[in-house]
Amino acid sequence: MKGDVIRFERGKAITGPQAASSIDDREEEFLVGREKERALFERFLAGEPMSKHIWNLYGTGGVGKSTLLDAFRRQARRLNAVFLLLDSREFRRTGNDFCKQLLLQLPSAKEKGSRDEEPLDAVLRRLNRLAQDRQVVVALDTFEEMTGMEGWLREQFLRELDPGILVLLAGRYPLKGQWLLSPAWRERTLWLAIDHLTRTDVLNYARKCGLTEEAQGERLWERTRGHGLSLSLAVSTELLEGSGPLNDAGWSSELASSWLKEVADEELRQLVEAASMLRQFNQELLAYVVERDISADAFGRLTALSFVRKIDRGWRLHDLMRESTRSYLRERAPGQFGKLMERCVRYYASIIRGSHGKRDVAWEVGELFGYIGDAFIRAHLNTSWKEEFIWEPLSAANLGEGLQYLQRRRNEARTVTRRGVDPMTGDLLELTLSKAEMLYAIEGLDLEELLSLGQQSVMLLKAQDGSVQGLSAIIPINRGTLDYLEQNPFSGPYIRSLSAAERKELDVPESEQAGWFIKSIDVLEWTDSALLMEGGSQMYNYMCSGKLFFASPPPLPMFYDSHLGFGFEAVPDVFHCSYDGKTPTPTFVLDTRGKKLDAFLAAMLHRIGIQLEPAEVAGTERSGSEEKEDPLLRFGLTEREREVTLCVIEGCSNLEIAARLFVSEITVKKHLSSVYAKMQVKNRSQLIKAVLQ
């Protein structure tokens, strides 16, 4: 299919002048987005002097490069410019055939060249002659498939082309090699990354197609995130209403098939399928999941694919590619899908358990719940984690900002509908909260009172511009806060329900924590997935900490289900009505003290049919020796070597380990060499396998 947008008109026949309009005219009417690129092209057509006449339009498959080239072609036609467009898949990859295809598109020429003139000479002569009187554009689509011709194109064709002619090279990858290394080519080349359409673009396109209900546009946005091909497939499904070739679930498989054409061989395809099961991956983690070593060459070919992105913790597949490939795999090979998911779950569960009491595992907890959480939790986690926000402790200096945030929340409260896609099933989930319900999260929240506890209970969530976008109030449980928690209307019923012995366990010095009470986790915009994910991350810091964690969230099904989904248990016969004065509100507890962490993990994995190994199941007898508590000791590793090993399992590079442990990278390499020798392994993949299995 040429282009990335399918055009439809709902509910009426097209008659009159509109029926006589050309396909190009109709395409133009439905075009949305790409304003900056089209404005730049308009400036070229208007004759504005430009130093860069080779434009590299690059972006992942289906993002909209072909659609943009078509838009450029229509712009050129309106201003009587010459626009030649070739798709590399539609001619043989030879210089002669390339030139012959261009000659076929050129306007008829009065002067005739020599019959023996080579195609290259002929096309250069005619193009350069045209450029004296008109603006000329040569566009080449799917440039990534110009295997073996890139050098010829640059040295034989472009070098002799009139420098005023604009050349558009559109493909999945940015130009590299000589395009970057040569100053002459670099100064003539403009790199233009083609990204997804914005939410506004998607809603605008939906309206143009006749999908005028707000919910329809929002559903398209949630499912496609502005990816051009996904949008066209989803709109086709919506408009044809089952009468066309795609059903509501089938378009994701169609999308996966389109992307997988880029995957050259079976080995690479298997790696893509395994990577689709992970929100982020590195070479060692992927090797653990597929249960075999992965060569540097194979991993390099994987990360070179256009739908793979480098992130802070390694790499990740394009969100839609990950979801569509996962759906495709689940339908085509459910056994393999289940096996890969089990390997991912065991990986994160093993790290959480092995790191118990030694280091923060908030990130691993979040990853684990991407598999074992309920549908709403998975949909909530189904977004890219961006380093857009910082958490700042509440203090006397920023108390005013916190109070202003609460006032803004009250002033701007409105009915909100939250939508998300479950990455495991592809189902679109929707939840609506009324204006009154939106204020429950900050009900009874007294920042000045919490600040006076001196326990750093409140954190402000700030954007990069310094604006407060949310907050959390998570109160430590110790000798300094027990009386407050006992008297507080939200936490008091639970504390008062404890026996004297249970309460005594919580009576630890003020410098320690026996656990925490979640009073509130709130964000300014509940439809913002990144904000919700950042807010939720505050819970992960405490969930598997080996402490008591309790909450009494607003009495709404959303909060009730989400706490059960996170593994909390409702406390029998402990209620209050403090949110609205009439609705009984339960208290939820998550206790991971001692061996209860094993019970928690076993219960959570059991939800999806995965059993922990016998030695890991809660209640299994262990000796009290340090070796049984820390399995790394059985290999005779030193404390520093164990720290390095845990960082490797987490996926850290040598440089990241060095920064974390405050040692040199050379020291890290020495520790790793010693670890390999003691554990009798050859590389990181074998090390991870030995530890986790």
The pLDDT, as a whole number, for residue 215 is 77
Tokens representing 100 are 């012959």
Query: How is 80-141 classified by DSSP, letter by letter?
Result: T-EEEEEEGGGS-SSHHHHHHHHHHHSPP-SS---TT--HHHHHHHHHHHHTTTS-EEEEEE
Could you tell me which residues are beta bridge partners of residue 421? 428
Angle between helices 654-661 and 639-650 (to 10 degrees): 130
**29 part of a folded domain:** no
Q: Is residue 448 located within the same domain as residue 580?
A: yes
160 in the same domain as 95 = yes
Does 576 share its domain with 432?
yes
Q: Specify whether 39 is located in the same domain as 179.
A: yes
My answer on whether 578 and 682 are in the same domain is: no
Please tell me whether residues 581 and 644 are part of one structural domain. Answer: no
CATH value at residue 632:
1.10.10.10
Could you tell me the two tokens for 625?
């020796």
Q: Tell whether 592 and 650 lie within a shared domain.
A: no
The model's confidence at residue 674, banded by pLDDT at 50, 70 and 90, is confident
Q: What is the pLDDT of residue 468?
A: 95
What's the alpha-carbon Rg for the chain, to the nearest Å?
A: 30
Alpha carbon distance 219, 203 (integer Å):
10
Token pair for 283: 């070479």
Q: Is residue 647 part of a domain?
A: yes
Whether residue 632 is found in the same domain as residue 578 = no
- The answer to whether residue 568 is domain-embedded is yes
- Asked if residue 150 and residue 84 are part of one domain, the reply reads yes
Quote helix, strand, coil % in the chain, to nearest 5. Answer: 50, 15, 35
Q: Say if 7 falls within a structural domain.
A: no
Among the three residues 193, 210, 236, which one is the final residue of a domain in this structure? 193
Using CA atoms, how far apart are residues 654 and 666, in angstroms rounded to an integer? 9
Q: Amino acid letter at 63?
A: V
**pLDDT per position as a tens digit, 40-73:** 999 999 999 888 999 999 988 778 888 899 899 9
108: domain CATH number is: 3.40.50.300
Final residue in a domain of this structure, among 193, 215, 242:
193
Average pLDDT value for the chain: 82
Q: What integer pLDDT is reported at residue 648 of this predicted model?
A: 82
pLDDT digits (tens, 9 = 90+) for 312-326: 778 888 777 787 788
Q: List the domain range (segments joined by +) for residue 542.
A: 385-606
The reply to whether 663 and 519 lie within a common domain is no
- Model confidence over 439-470: pLDDT tens digits? 999 999 999 999 999 888 999 999 988 999 99
Q: Is residue 149 part of a domain?
A: yes
- Tell me whether residue 2 is in a domain: no
Average pLDDT value for residue range 416-437: 75
Q: Which residue has the higher pLDDT, 636 or 283?
A: 283
For the stretch 228-276, pLDDT in tens is 877 877 777 666 554 444 444 455 666 667 677 778 788 898 999 999 9
Do 139 and 168 contact (CB within 8 A), yes or no? yes
In DSSP terms, 585 is beta-bridged to 576
Percent of the chain with pLDDT over 70: 85
* Domains contained in the chain, number: 3
Domain-located, residue 313: no
CATH number of domain containing 488: 3.40.630.30
Tokens of 271: 């790696």
In a shared domain, residues 496 and 551: yes
* CB of 288 closer than 8 Å to CB of 688: yes
Across residues 148-154, what is the average pLDDT?
86
473 shares its domain with 553: yes
Query: Pick the residue with more confidence: 163 or 23?
Result: 163
Measured between alpha carbons, how far is 693 from 691 in angstroms, rounded to an integer?
Answer: 6
638 in a structural domain: yes
Q: Which residues of 617-630 are buried (b: 16+ CB within 10 A; e: fewer)?
A: eeeeeeeeeeeeeb
How far is it, in rounded angstroms, from Cα 455 to Cα 474? 10
Cβ-based neighbours of 156, under 8 Å, separated by 6 or more: 95, 120
* Residue finishing a domain among 556, 575, 606: 606
